[in-house]
Amino acid sequence: MNGLVKTAHRVIQSCVKHSSLSSVLVTRSQAPVKRDFTRGIWHMSCSKRLDGPSAPTGLLHNHSNTCSCGCGLKALHTKGERELVEFLTEEIVAERKAQKVKTLPSDVEGFTVKGDGAEVVLSKQLKDELIRITFNVNHTVDSDDFEGDIQQEKQEFAEMRSKPQFEVDIVRGDTTLGFTCSFLQEPPPTSGDEYNDIFGIDEVTIYKGDWNDKVYAVAGDVLDGYLYDLLMNLLEEKGISNDFVQKLSDFSTAYEHAAYINLLETISKFTIGKQ
């Protein structure tokens, strides 16, 4: 089941069975996160700004005679371009310092990892079936508000985490049992030995061959409650447990952060003219 193709054709269903998500539309095309509020404020409190003394960078201060307009750098002919490159140089350094995972793992809990741009596929071959998990890190970063009183000198932020919607395909021969799952924003509190899921089933489908928009799918919130629990148990038996999904979020967070740093570096190179 190709997650991107399916979500592009489906009428998106809202829902997890918990009331805290009853009004949230489930879709890969989620509203973009305001990154300037999270990473931008962190940068403002932790690094030097453009209107103050700037950290010396060889990129901007190693002038050459290649440009006659006085900008000092080939292709940087405007004030906006110079300021953009200066900011990006500082921001890239700050983001690399904040990067917790320097080298992305090649597997997650026995699932082989394959990344292609923003899309990631985790796969594991069992005896008679293939388990495949597909997700996209675009617009998946979430962050809580910073804690305590706002102080210009010291601001504490919750960790930015990527919690993508993900597709789980259980493939046997030419038949695929497919699930669309997503993280629960606020799992209900547990008492005693009660088990608390951190993710839920948004949609279930089954089909032969390739998926197309004629394939029937049912939303998770209209399933019989006992059937829903049985399907969650099935996913856990296939390795899609709370613990695994938490590790999936850890990997997605590191993958998205690496992609963000690469974006900054690519914009900088584009601005300089070294594409």
pLDDT at residue 196 in the model: 85
Check residues 4 and 161 and name the one with the higher pLDDT.
161
Cα 215 to Cα 4, 7, 94, 139: the distances in Å are 15, 12, 47, 27
187 pLDDT tier (thresholds 50, 70, 90) = low
Checking if the pLDDT of 99 tops 70, the result is yes
pLDDT at residue 194 in the model: 60
102 pLDDT tier (thresholds 50, 70, 90) = confident
Checking if the pLDDT of 21 tops 60, the result is no
What string of DSSP letters covers 200-250?
A: EEEEEEEEESS--TTS-EEEGGGS-HHHHHHHHHHHHHTT--HHHHHHHHH
Domain 3-272 has CATH 3.60.21.10: no
| Number of Cβ atoms within 10 Å of the Cβ of 203 | 23
- The token pair that represents 108 in the structure block: 């997650």
> With contact defined as beta carbons under 8 Å apart, do 252 and 163 qualify?
yes
Most confident of 28-32, 158-162, 184-188, 221-225: 221-225
Average pLDDT, the chain: 76
Tens digits of residue pLDDT in 111-149: 999 999 999 999 999 989 999 999 999 999 976 544 444
Arithmetic mean of pLDDT, 199-218: 95
pLDDT at residue 38 in the model: 42
Which amino acid, residue 116?
D
Checking if the pLDDT of 221 tops 90, the result is yes
Arithmetic mean of pLDDT, 241-253: 96
> With contact defined as beta carbons under 8 Å apart, do 196 and 176 qualify?
no
Arithmetic mean of pLDDT, 50-74: 46
Arithmetic mean of pLDDT, 160-182: 96
Check residues 70 and 171 and name the one with the higher pLDDT.
171
Query: Which one, of 110, 100, 53, 64, lies nearest residue 272 by Cα?
Result: 64
**Distance in angstroms (rounded) separating the CA atoms of residues 196 and 206:** 27
Tens digits of residue pLDDT in 32-48: 444 443 455 444 444 44
> What 8-state DSSP symbol labels residue 25?
B
Beta strands in 82-196, from DSSP E residues, in sequence order? 107-108, 111-116, 119-125, 130-136, 141-142, 161-162, 166-172, 175-183
Which residues are paired to 199 by β-bridges?
Answer: 183
The region, left, alpha or beta by phi > 0 then psi within -120 to 50, assigned to residue 263 is alpha
Tens digits of residue pLDDT in 83-92: 999 999 999 9
Check residues 189 and 112 and name the one with the higher pLDDT.
112
Query: Which one, of 111, 125, 131, 94, lies nearest residue 257 by Cα?
Result: 94
